[in-house]
Structure 1
Amino acid sequence: MPEYGYFLSCEQYGPAELVEQARMAEQAGFEALWISDHYHPWNGAQGQSAFVWSVIGALSEAVSLPVETAVTCPTVRMHPAVVAQAAATAAVMAEGGFRLGVGTGEALNEHILGDRWPPAHVRLEMLEEAIQVMRRLFTGKEVNHHGTHYTVENARLYTVPEEPVPIDVSGFGPKATSLAARVGDGYITMTPDEEMVTQYRKGGGGAKLVSGGTKVCFGHDREECVRTVHRLWYNEQLPGEMGQVLPTPRHFEQLEPLVTEDMVRDNVVCGDDADRHAATLREYADAGFDRVYVNQIGPDRRGFFDFYRTKVLPQLPH
């Protein structure tokens, strides 16, 4: 049976708000936390983008829930040796309750230093090599690595957890899912796609952790919720590879007219129908997920947590 977690959005909320949401999530009965890792928000209306590693340090002191990045790109903006140090420290502070979620990233966050944004197949190669580097560093031994994409010389992490940090790999298509099955300690994907879960498990993932997440907008006025989602998160309704290749929030804002309120109404849970909220999360359970995370888009955070504590979580299989 799945565990249910809360998804903290660094793109929409400032650091203090994220920590307070984590406290409310724990009190409401959520069992784990996801937190996004961005340099930019998707658009200006979201308006935030805190440095995730600072927030994780605060979370480790504020709550006892396990935390995972969803997801970090350890390939372009940050060298895998630096990500490994950050992740190891986070795991020590969380007393082992930290997992590193990784993926191939988006140009939105990763091109900021002027590096070339590679095509998808190269990004997958870079991610695999980055995982190899980080795993070696998590041992606490000195690492020298001269690979296709990365060089590490005389690097050693002195602050490491008792057990190596688990690395879960994000995948939304067959190639990335295959990589997750081959090299990951777990698998992350955002839709309740039973075929992808089956591919992961049969491709080598076996019984390892499979996690997924969704965004909802709780509120008593459903149409106002639809408008809120359309204003803040229309980017999630954009098709194809635009999410991976567009370089700035401004470019995403230019595409807002492509997304209608009807698209939001059809694809995002809005309002206060507890059965609909529960049914959406149950789809992940039915598809074989082990952890399911949910994020509240709307402004009524206290109402959301009370609603899930009393009306939604009790309906779900645990």
Structure 2
Amino acid sequence: MTRFGYTLMTEQSGPRELVRYAQQAEEVGFDFEVSSDHYSPWLVSQGHAPYAWSVLGAVAQATSRVDLMTYVTCPTMRYHPAVVAQKAATIQLLSEGRFTLGLGSGESLNEHVVGEGWPGVAQRQDMLVEAMEIIRALQGGDLVIYDGAYFRVDSARIWDAPDGGVPIGVAVSGESSLSRFAPLGDHMIAVEPDEGLVKGWDEHHPDASRKIGQVPISWDPDRDAAVARAHDQFRWFGGGWAVNADLPTPAGFDAASQFVRPEDVAGSIACGPDLDELAESVRPFLDAGFTDVAIVQIGDEKQQQFLDEVAGPLLDRLRAL
């Protein structure tokens, strides 16, 4: 049976609000919760970017049942992989085994801030391979020395290492990333409902593994208001990851999406009060074989009402699919 998750969208909500939403999402009945890990919002109108790892630490204490996950962390630029390994181990202990470390090769928006430039996609993939090797090595609690092309680790050890380490999910988008990252990860993350990716992943992981996707929706009693909010805060979504990975600032995303029309957004994101329509927008991921799908309700201003009034009935419809 498919599991359905709730997205803690750090780009659109403050830290205290995110912890409150996480508590309520668990109470409503979501199976898991994912958190973005951003230094900047996609667009200025979203207006937030709290530190995801502090939020996750609080969420781990404020919840008791839901699985938790980063969706996704880039362990190559803003964070050294040895530090990511330590953070992940700590969240795993705080959550008593409910955490999965979701990793990806990142976006310039979040990673350029440390002043190290932004490498091309081939180098980013090379860096992610090294980072995952380091994180894996450190998860066992042993002393690690690593001398790679991009990263060095000098006599590092995770002193509070959870038994069994931390499961790793990794974002893949095509054959190149699939062949490189599938042997290093436990679970697959993808933003497109691509059946080929699922089949390719399962060739590397014949035993049970999670295939985790994410779908934005814009619920509102007024469909026009739902479309307007999705256009205001999520029009960047239509650029595709080949574009989104390389734009450096929210101003850049504003400029790149200035000609995206409200009807364009409404054509790709389910908007309005019809819960059956919102649920059906998830079907492509189900048909492609994804085991887990996280929902993004667009806009902080409707988040509380969504959780109070809509999330429960929507989950019933999703599970009926």
Say whether the fold is shared (TM-score over 0.5): yes
Corresponding residue for residue 57 of structure 1 = 57
Partner of 1:228: 229
1:1-318 correspondence to structure 2 within 5 Å: 1-64=1-64, 65-204=66-205, 206-239=207-240, 241-298=242-299, 299-305=301-307, 306-317=309-320
Q: Could you say what secondary structure the match of 1:24 adopts? A: helix
**How far did 1:202 drift?**
2.3
- Is the CA contact (8 Å cut-off) linking 1:211 and 1:289 kept in structure 2? yes
Q: Secondary structure at the match of 2:113?
A: coil
Secondary structure at the aligned position of 2:170 is classed as strand
Does the CA contact (< 8 Å) of 2:2 and 2:290 recur in 1? yes
Q: Deviations over 1:156-209 (max 9, x none)?
A: 110111121011100122212223322110000112221221122124465311
Name the SS of the counterpart of 2:280 in structure 1.
helix
- Paired letter, 1:111: H
The one-letter code of the counterpart of 2:313 is T
Count, aligned residues: 318
The 1-side partners of 2:176 and 2:207 are apart by 17
CA distance in 1, matches of 2:319, 2:282: 8
Q: Which moved more, 1:251-260 or 1:99-108?
A: 251-260
Q: CA deviation at 1:315?
A: 4.6
SS in 2 for 1:42: coil
1:140-170 CA-partner distances (Å, limit 9, x unpaired): 1111111111100011110111121011100
Q: What is the one-letter code of the residue matched to 1:295?
A: V
What amino acid is aligned across from residue 12 of structure 1 in structure 2? Q
**Cα contact 1:168–1:185 (8 A) shared by 2:** yes
Q: Which sits farther off after the overlay, 132-141 or 238-247?
A: 238-247
Gaps of 5+ in 1: none
Tell whether the 8 Å contact from 1:191 to 1:212 is kept in structure 2 after alignment: yes
Pairwise CA distance, 1:129: 0.8
Three-state SS of the structure 2 residue aligned to 1:216 is strand
Contact 1:200 1:206 in 2 (8 A): no
